[in-house]
């Protein structure tokens, strides 16, 4: 026997999923069978007991759940429990009408017990009790829960876009990873579906209450008619037998229905997701000694009024007064003790856990700057960083990695440091509560403050107090707070280092994003024609020269056109630049049609063509290369001082080589090839770049 039991348990464990999946269909089939097939009274008693047990379980689960999705199956449970009660009503009605003439026990022991124990065998009392239960269920509980479910569904659906945006913002800020973001998005969607289902499922409860009234009336009329006309019972005997059975049957179904209604109301009316409803009530109603003390005083006053039940009021008042005193003198909770981490079994031995990954993009803060990231102290640096990442993605064309912000006690108190792959790419100082007044040029008004330079662009500036802010703005200075200084510095470095920010991970995410917009296009090109690595290299070559990759569709289409015959990423990037030439020119010059460019003197240009245009590689004399870089940097500065974009126009064959030569000394100088000037634009030759030999 024990062996058979063990085998059954093993079979249930192995087939748990099958058993769980078959539970609902079996229950539905049983419900339908009860509606059409006659069942014995002992089985009817079993189902009535099971119905009561299910209702109690549902109410207990609703009481102890923390958040609505903990009982996401409630709408389906509500439907099945309602159908089960109605099927039991049908089955019991059949037995009452067929066998009711034989006595009160004809419909089973459960109905008989409810008919005699709850209402004392008096059907008039039963009708009144049933009417009161219906009023409580239908008018109070069901009506209120239905309205709450309707409003909750509407507000949940209205708030769904905002919640999705909040998840995206946390993901962009690096507060959560992609896996957690997917989980939260799914939870938001499931919560909206749940309240939408609850809005509809509340109609089941209301319909169940109406059906209970109609079934009772039908049972009374039908039983009275069957008893008198088929079994020749007197009117009194028929009423005493059939009405008592009908009322008992109605009460057996109505009490579980009331429990389910209360459970539905508890589900839709709860607020907060930190504890169950019992914990909420106790912590919020009995936490204040003032509330209990005032209530105890009022009860004591009522208890001493002549004619009042003094013992009850004074006893209750004394109990509440003691509770208020006990809460007021309750010792404060002990401070949580942080236990030291236990030594690992391999204490002193190195492990892979000791190897921490290098942050792709990091921001290290001195201890005085920590307040800038503390929301409790109105620090909004994290919000500024979120805005920087969002603006970068919109302008450049890909989502940069999250910025890992941490403190560094080795830095000066007001210093910060920006790192890229663990290497410092920028640093500066910021002073919370002070403002940086930046001189855009040509302002000679003196300021009282600490002289410095703008960390992003190197402009002269002063750190000033707040009382000088208005005067500095009126004098023409650009005045920004410390958070803006750091955010602007970070934004500038991200633009400059964009090519290094697009790692293989960002490239893969960009491909997946494009696949949603143009799935066929990306399937044909990446990775069939161009590997992810080659695609990343092409994007890096474009970003190194400040070319934004927002028009990713044009980039992929250009790859599709040329990748079949060209495999060199440098040549692919050159051809993509030609395809992107309208966007590149607009990025440099704006919407103007006449382009003011720097040209190379023809003889010097021929010399450069001979030196740099060969397939063997660059063969330019080092001194001439240095002279070229310095001359280009000087002309670029002159153009910027005149308010004109600095752009050098060169032949296509040497554009890449010239761009690399001048990038070190003139990083803001743009180098365009002749074929990169759109047909819709004209050029106007400005300064002429001359060589030492011309």
Task: Assess contact for 544 and 579: CB atoms under 8 A.
Answer: no
3-class SS at 99? Answer: helix
Question: Residue 648 is part of a domain; what is its CATH number?
Answer: 3.40.50.12790
Give residue-wise pLDDT tens across range 667-676: 889 999 999 9
* Same-domain status, 548 and 648: no
Task: Assess contact for 649 and 589: CB atoms under 8 A.
Answer: no
Q: Left, alpha or beta for 681 (phi > 0: left; psi -120 to 50: alpha)? A: beta
Average pLDDT in the 431-439 region? 90
Q: Provide the pLDDT for residue 694.
A: 44
Q: Provide the pLDDT for residue 522.
A: 84
* Same-domain status, 520 and 423: no
* Same-domain status, 71 and 207: yes
* Same-domain status, 259 and 162: yes
Task: Assess contact for 190 and 155: CB atoms under 8 A.
Answer: no
Task: Give the bridge partners for 461, in sequence order.
Answer: 438, 452
* Same-domain status, 211 and 231: yes
Is residue 11 in some structural domain? no
Give residue-wise pLDDT tens across range 346-360: 455 777 766 777 888
Q: Provide the pLDDT for residue 270.
A: 67
* Same-domain status, 133 and 220: yes
* Same-domain status, 383 and 464: yes
Task: Assess contact for 578 and 655: CB atoms under 8 A.
Answer: no
Of the candidates 245, 240, 252, the one whose C-alpha atom is nearest the C-alpha of residue 212 is 252
Average pLDDT in the 532-545 region? 91
Query: Token digits for 200?
Result: 């509809």
Q: Provide the pLDDT for residue 648.
A: 92
Q: Is pLDDT of 489 > 70?
A: yes
Q: Which residue has the higher pLDDT, 597 or 135?
A: 597
Is residue 304 in some structural domain? yes
Out of 473, 498, 523, pick the residue that ends a domain.
498
* Same-domain status, 315 and 255: no
Q: Provide the pLDDT for residue 543.
A: 92
* Same-domain status, 536 and 451: no
How many other CB atoms are there within 10 angstroms of residue 209's CB atom?
Answer: 23
Query: Whole-angstrom distance between the N-terminal and C-terminal Cα of the chain?
Result: 109
d(CA 24, CA 76): 10
* Same-domain status, 570 and 602: no
Q: Is pLDDT of 21 > 60?
A: no
Is residue 217 in some structural domain? yes
Domain carrying residue 623: 592-694
Q: Is pLDDT of 343 > 50?
A: no
Most confident of 61-65, 86-90, 208-212, 659-663: 659-663
Average pLDDT in the 516-536 region? 86
Give the lowest-confidence range in 72-86, 107-121, 183-197.
107-121
Question: Residue 381 is part of a domain; what is its CATH number?
Answer: 3.40.30.60
Is residue 3 in some structural domain? no
Is residue 399 in some structural domain? yes
3-class SS at 544? Answer: helix
Q: Which residue has the higher pLDDT, 264 or 575?
A: 575
Q: Provide the pLDDT for residue 447.
A: 85
Is residue 346 in some structural domain? no
Is residue 14 in some structural domain? no
Out of 498, 514, 529, pick the residue that ends a domain.
498
Cis peptide, bond prior to residue 527, ω within 30 of zero: yes
Average pLDDT in the 518-523 region? 82
Provide the domain count of the chain.
5
Q: Is pLDDT of 306 > 90?
A: no
Q: Which residue has the higher pLDDT, 315 or 75?
A: 315
Q: Provide the pLDDT for residue 606.
A: 87
Task: Assess contact for 54 and 256: CB atoms under 8 A.
Answer: yes
Task: Give the bridge partners for 450, in sequence order.
Answer: 463
Give residue-wise pLDDT tens across range 221-250: 777 777 777 777 777 777 667 777 777 777
What is the percent of the chain with per-residue pLDDT over 70, rounded to a whole number?
A: 79
Provide the 8-state DSSP code for 118: I
* Same-domain status, 575 and 625: no
Task: Give the model's confidence band at 341: pLDDT under 50 very low, under 70 low, under 90 confident, else very high.
Answer: very low
Q: Provide the pLDDT for residue 582.
A: 92
Q: Is pLDDT of 538 > 90?
A: yes
Q: What is the mean pLDDT of the chain?
A: 79
Is residue 349 in some structural domain? no
Q: Provide the pLDDT for residue 50.
A: 82
Query: Could you give the residue ranges of the DSSP H alpha helices within 601-646?
Result: 602-612, 622-641
* Same-domain status, 121 and 176: yes
d(CA 11, CA 16): 8
């Amino acid at each position: 026997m024990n062996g058979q039991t063990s085998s059954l348990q093993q079979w249930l464990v192995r087939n748990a999923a099958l058993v769980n999946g078959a539970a609902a269909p079996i229950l539905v089939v049983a419900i339908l069978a009860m509606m059409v097939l006659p069942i014995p009274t002992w089985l009817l008693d079993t189902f009535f007991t099971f119905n009561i047990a299910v209702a109690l379980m549902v109410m207990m689960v609703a009481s102890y759940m923390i958040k609505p999705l903990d009982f996401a199956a409630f709408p389906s449970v509500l439907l099945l429990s309602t159908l089960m009660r109605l099927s039991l009503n049908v089955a019991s009605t059949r037995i009452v009408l067929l066998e009711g003439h034989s006595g009160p026990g004809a419909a089973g022991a459960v109905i008989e017990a409810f008919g005699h124990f709850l209402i004392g065998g008096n059907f008039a009392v039963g009708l009144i009790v049933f009417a009161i239960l219906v009023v409580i269920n239908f008018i109070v509980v069901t009506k209120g829960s239905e309205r709450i479910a309707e409003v909750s569904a509407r507000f949940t659906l209205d708030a769904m876009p905002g919640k999705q945006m909040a998840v995206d913002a946390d993901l962009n800020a690096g507060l959560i990873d992609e896996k957690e973001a997917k989980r939260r998005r799914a939870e938001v969607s499931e919560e909206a579906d749940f309240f939408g289902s609850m809005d509809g499922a509340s109609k089941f409860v209301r319909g169940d209450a109406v059906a209970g009234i109609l079934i009772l009336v039908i049972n009374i009329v039908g039983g009275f008619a069957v008893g008198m006309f088929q079994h020749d019972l007197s009117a009194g005997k028929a009423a005493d037998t059939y009405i008592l059975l009908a009322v008992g049957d109605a009460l057996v179904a109505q009490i579980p229905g009331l429990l389910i209604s209360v459970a539905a109301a508890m589900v839709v009316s709860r607020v907060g997701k930190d504890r169950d409803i019992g914990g909420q009530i106790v912590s919020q109603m009995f936490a204040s000694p003032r509330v209990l003390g005032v209530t105890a005083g009022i009860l004591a006053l009522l208890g001493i009024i002549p004619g009042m039940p003094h013992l009850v009021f004074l006893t209750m008042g004394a109990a509440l007064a003691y509770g208020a005193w006990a809460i007021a003198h309750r010792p404060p909770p002990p401070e949580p003790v942080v236990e030291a981490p236990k030594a690992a079994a391999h204490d002193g031995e190195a492990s892979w856990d000791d190897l921490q990954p290098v942050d792709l993009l990091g921001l290290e803060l001195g201890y005085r700057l920590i307040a800038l990231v503390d929301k409790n102290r109105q620090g909004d640096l994290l919000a500024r960083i979120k805005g920087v990442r969002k603006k970068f993605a919109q302008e450049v064309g890909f989502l940069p990695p999250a910025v890992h912000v941490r403190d560094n006690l080795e830095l000066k108190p007001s210093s910060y440091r920006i790192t890229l792959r663990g290497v410092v790419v920028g640093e500066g100082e910021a002073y919370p509560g002070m403002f940086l007044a930046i001189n855009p040029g040509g302002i000679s008004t003196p300021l009282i403050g600490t002289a410095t330079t703008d960390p992003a662009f190197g402009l002269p500036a002063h750190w000033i107090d707040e009382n000088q802010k208005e005067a500095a703005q009126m004098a023409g200075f650009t005045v920004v707070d410390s958070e803006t200084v750091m955010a602007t510095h970070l934004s500038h470095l991200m633009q400059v280092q964009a090519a290094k920010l697009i790692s293989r991970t960002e490239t893969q995410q960009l491909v997946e994003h494009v696949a949603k917009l143009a799935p066929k296009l990306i399937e044909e090109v990446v990775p069939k024609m161009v590997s992810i690595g080659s695609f990343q290299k092409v994007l890096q070559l474009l970003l190194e020269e400040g070319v934004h990759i927002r028009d990713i569709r044009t980039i992929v289409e250009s790859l599709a056109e040329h990748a079949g015959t060209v495999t060199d990423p440098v040549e692919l990037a050159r051809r993509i630049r030609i395809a992107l030439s309208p966007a590149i020119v607009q990025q440099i010059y704006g919407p103007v049609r006449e382009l003011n460019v720097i040209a190379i003197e023809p003889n010097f240009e021929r010399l450069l063509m001979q030196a740099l245009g060969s397939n063997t590689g660059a063969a330019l004399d080092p001194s001439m290369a240095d002279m070229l870089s310095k001359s280009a940097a000087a002309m670029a500065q002159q153009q910027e001082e005149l308010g004109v974009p600095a752009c050098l126009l060169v032949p296509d064959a040497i554009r890449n080589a010239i761009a690399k030569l001048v990038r070190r000394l003139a990083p803001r100088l743009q180098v365009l090839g002749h074929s990169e000037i759109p047909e819709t634009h004209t050029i106007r030759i400005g300064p002429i770049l001359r060589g030492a030999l011309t």
